Every structure is written in C-alpha cells, then in structure tokens.
Amino acid sequence: MRITVTRTGGFAGIPREATLDTAGRPDAAGLEALAHRALAQGSAAPPPGVPDGFAYRVTAGGRTAHFADPRLTDAQRALVRTVLKEGA
C-alpha cells in the first residue's frame, strides 16, 4: 500500500509531501491498519483549521481523507509523523 501525506499551512506556509510504500516492510500490517483508522476518522473535504496550523491530506488504498490541527486523532498524528519522517 502506498500512503501519501500532504501537509500545508503552518507559519511559513511551505507545503510538504511524502509517500511511504508498505510493500516488503516488516511493519506493513501495522502501518496499513493505522492508515485505515486515520482515514476512517478524517473527512472528505478539508476541515476548518486554526491560524498557522497544519492541514493534512492523506491518500492510501484508493481513499483520501483530510484533517487539520489541532483536532488530529492519535492514529492520524502517528500516521502523519511516520510518513513524513520515513517517506520520500
């Protein structure tokens, strides 16, 4: 599964995007389950955010969801951190 996270907003307004492919990873099942939880808790359209907060678009398994600071769930926060840290 390819998981893509796009982060926009923030103080500088510089967008960042990373993609992580779970194929062949020993933690693939856990990452895919995390992605499904995060997507299920997101919304189809970008939610309102806060000034200088980040907004996220996550695409995985043919689905896309949006979420924004400061209302990220634990699953969303963990997925965003992992993909932006390890993804290319």
Between residues 11 and 38, which one has the greater pLDDT? 38
Q: What is the pLDDT of residue 63?
A: 95
Residues 8-28: what's their mean pLDDT? 94
Confidence of residue 13 (pLDDT cuts 50, 70, 90): confident
- C-alpha 81 chain-centroid distance: 8
Confidence of residue 87 (pLDDT cuts 50, 70, 90): confident
Residue 88 has pLDDT above 70, yes or no: no
